[in-house]
Amino acid sequence: MNLLITLTLLSTVAMSGFRRLKLMTGTFMIQSLSIAFICFFLGYETNEAHYYALGMLTILIKAIVIPIIMNKSINKLKTAREMNMIINGYWSYIFSSIFVVIALMLLKNFRQDLIKTGLVLILFGTFILITRKKAINQMIGFLTVENGIVLIELSTVQMNLAIEFGIF
């Protein structure tokens, strides 16, 4: 469990400074996969079927379909990397880490790993959204935010499957 959370965090942190689009989609895939496995893990622990369903959905949509579509559209593009980010890689790493520290400080009272991880994902996703200019990178940022929400939702409230699908 800890390992999966760490994998999610690592891929997210790595994402915030990457330039090459293909690398972005690759790390996004890793992130989604690890979130799917977190779902499976929770399902295994609680024996509830909807976790499995959510994990399967995540794998199917976010780890297979979306990266394939993105890679296809990247192949059509001429430039394979983000040339002028608004904030360069170095500072984007540092800024995003500082944001995360502030966020964790705010959520001091919460005792769950997944909420905090979800918040970190949301923040990094927003950061990617703000600093990148390429549409695909912005998409990835947005999807990262969505992954974060899936994590938060997993940890706080157990919704019905229909609503989870709606969130998705």
Partner 1 sequence: MLDYVLIVLQSLFLLIITPLFVGILKRMKAFIRGYQGAKITQPYYDIKRLFNKGMVVSNSSSFVSIFGPSICLAFSIVISLLVPVFYTNNIINFGNVFLVIFMLAVIKIITTLIGLDCASTFGGMGSSRESFISLFAEPVMLLTLSVLYFESNNFNVFKISYAISNTDITVAHILALASFFILVLAENARMPVDNPETHLELTMVHEAMILDISGRNLAFIELASSIKFIVFATLLINLFLPFGIATSISIYSIFISIVIYILKMIVVLFVIAIIRTSIAKFRLFKVPELLASAFSLSIISIAMLYFNL
Partner 2 sequence: MELWLIFGLIALSTLISFLIKDIKTISCINISVSIINFIACILLVIKVESFDTLFYLEKILFLDSYSTVQLFIISGVTLVSSIYSYKYILNEVKHQIISIKKAKIFYILFNLFVFSMYLISFANNVMIMWISLEATTLATAFLIGFNGDKLSLEAAWKYIILCSVGITIGLVGIILLIYSTGSNVTMENLNWTYLSKHYSTFDITITKIAFTLIFVGIGTKAGFAPMHTWLSDGHSEAPSPISAMMSGILLNLALYVVVRFYVIIKNIDNLQNFNKLFVIFGVLSLFISSFSILKQNNYKRLLAFSSVENIGIISLGIGFGGYFGLFAAVLHSIIHAFGKTLLFLVAGNILENYKTKRIDKIHYLFKFMPINSAFLILGMLIITGAPPFASFFSEYYILISGIKSGHFIATIIYALCLLIVFAGFLVAFMKMIYTKQNDVEVVKLEEDGNNIVPLIITLVFVVFVSAFLMDIYIT
Contact mark string toward partner 1, 93..112, x via CB under 8 A: xx-xxx-xx--xx-xx--x-
Q: Of the candidates 25, 84, 135, 161, which one interacts with partner 2 according to CB under 8 A?
A: 135
Is position 77 an interface residue for partner 1 (rule: CB under 8 A)? no
Q: Which of 15, 122, 136, 140 binds partner 2 (CB under 8 A)?
A: 122
Considering the rule CB under 8 A, would residue 166 count as an interface residue with partner 2? yes
The DSSP result for the chain, as a single string, is -HHHHHHHHHHHHHHTT--BHHHHHHHHHHHHHHHHHHHHHHHHHHT-HHHHHHHHHIIIIIIIIHHHHHHHHHHHSS--B----SS-HHHHHHHHHHHHHHHHHHTTT---HHHHHHHHHHHHHHHHHHH--SHHHHHHHHHHHHHHHHHHHHHH----HHHHHHH-
Structure token digits, residue 130: 């703000």
- If the CB atoms of residues 62 and 90 are measured against partner 2, the closer one turns out to be 62
75 makes contact with partner 2 (CB under 8 A): no
Which segment (50-58, 85-93, 129-137, 146-154) binds partner 1 by CB under 8 A?
85-93
Does position 69 interact with partner 2 (CB under 8 A)? The reply is no
> At its nearest, how many Å lie between partner 1 and the CB of residue 49?
27
**Contact partner at residue 149 from partner 1, partner 2, none, CB < 5 to 8 Å by partner kind:** partner 2
The smaller minimum CB distance to partner 1, of residues 33 and 100, is found at 100
State how far the alpha carbon of 43 is from the alpha carbons of 24, 36, 47, 51, 164, in Å: 29, 11, 5, 5, 15
Cα separation, 163 vs 168, in Å, equals 8
Residues that bind partner 1 (CB under 8 A): 2-3, 5-6, 9-10, 13-14, 16-17, 88-91, 93-94, 96-98, 100-101, 104-105, 107-108, 111, 113, 116-117, 120
